[in-house]
Amino acid sequence: MTGALLTVRGLHAGYGGSAVLHGVDLEVRAGEVVALLGRNGMGKTTLVRTVCGLHPAQGGEVVFRGVPVEAGAAHRIARRGLGLVPEGRQIFANLTVEEHLSAFERPRAAPVPGEPSDGGGRAASSAAERIGRVFELFPRLRERRDHLGNQLSGGEQQMLAIGRALVTEPRLLILDEATEGLAPLVRQEIWRCLGALRASGQAILVIDKYVQRLIGLADRHVILEKGRVAWTGTSAELDADPSIWQGYLGV
């Protein structure tokens, strides 16, 4: 792990007159996996949307790869190498698996002068290679490559949503509710994929409720409570203190 890809400092955000985030700090370094935890309604999705330029900040700052993130600039931040797997998947019903991947694929974001290496060490690759890597991660998608989005199961749609983000070769991959609503066998497949991505040096910010699986995957954890950072620490620290789970996550 090297320098920071994403830095969030003193972030405030909300909707209308209702504040949701209150001075949140968060950092994801190159090659690092960070888990964002908290009960429902604690601000996790608002934080992700603000980081991605989909929702305006009301104070503080978000910096991705050295450039401040502005609301309404989601397309620009995506081009700089941020890949989002949104809650709810948002698959297009009338596109096939292969059309989804072909529509979103693009070369890896160019290095920024002075930016630390992310440890990936990958050279530029062709569209076929990028899509091929997704099919290697998710063989089921290869089998279903000609099926429309509305012909896929929920688990297959989640695989496709992850694959759709991966063909952009993101510097940082964000997953909002990575395994929500999925059958146990499908969840195992998603965790296997995320483990392989971590081993490859992919930086990841992941939201999920399965704390034990996140302990085995993530380097660090950030827990939100009522829009504030209530606790942050390593997987070893979280695993060693069950009171943290009971107090903040209701596990």
Q: What is the 3-state secondary structure (H, E, C) of the chain?
A: CCCEEEEEEEEEEEECCEEEEEEEEEEEECCCEEEEECCCCCCHHHHHHHHCCCCCCCEEEEEECCEECCCCCHHHHHHCCEEEECCCCCCCCCCEHHHHHHHHCCCCCCCCCCCCCCCCCCCCCCHHHHHHHHHHHCHHHHHCCCCEHHHCCHHHHHHHHHHHHHCCCCCEEEECCCCCCCCHHHHHHHHHHHHHHHHCCCEEEEECCCHHHHHHHCCEEEEEECCEEEEEEEHHHHHHCHHHHHHHHCC
* CATH code at position 233: 3.40.50.300
- Residue 221: how many other CB atoms lie within 10 Å: 22
Which amino acid appears at position 226 of this protein? K
pLDDT in the model for residue 109: 58
pLDDT in the model for residue 82: 95
pTM over 0.85: yes
Positive or negative: CA dihedral 125, 99, 177, 133:
negative
Query: Bridge partners of 37?
Result: 223
Does position 246 have pLDDT exceeding 90, yes or no?
Answer: no
pLDDT in the model for residue 132: 93
Token look-up 């900040």 returns 57
Whole-angstrom distance, CA of residue 39 vs CA of residue 237: 19
Region of residue 183 (left: phi > 0; alpha: psi -120 to 50; beta: else):
beta
Whole-angstrom distance, CA of residue 36 vs CA of residue 243: 18
Say if strands 67-68 and 33-37 run parallel, antiparallel, or are unpaired. unpaired
Whole-angstrom distance, CA of residue 114 vs CA of residue 198: 24
In this prediction, residue 115 has a pLDDT band, given cuts at 50, 70 and 90, of low
The encoded tokens of residue 107 equal 């070369």
Range of the structural domain that residue 245 is part of: 4-249
Nearest to 207 by CA among 19, 39, 29, 63: 39
pLDDT in the model for residue 1: 47
pLDDT: is 34 or 108 the higher one?
Answer: 34
Instruction: For residue range 86-99, list pLDDT tens digits in order.
Output: 888 889 899 999 99
The mean pLDDT value for 64-78 works out to 89
In this prediction, residue 104 has a pLDDT band, given cuts at 50, 70 and 90, of confident
Tally of domains in the chain? 1
In this prediction, residue 121 has a pLDDT band, given cuts at 50, 70 and 90, of very low
For the ranges 118-122, 199-203, 208-212, the one whose mean pLDDT is highest: 199-203
pLDDT in the model for residue 55: 93
Looking at the chain, how many residues does it have?
A: 251
Token look-up 């943290």 returns 244
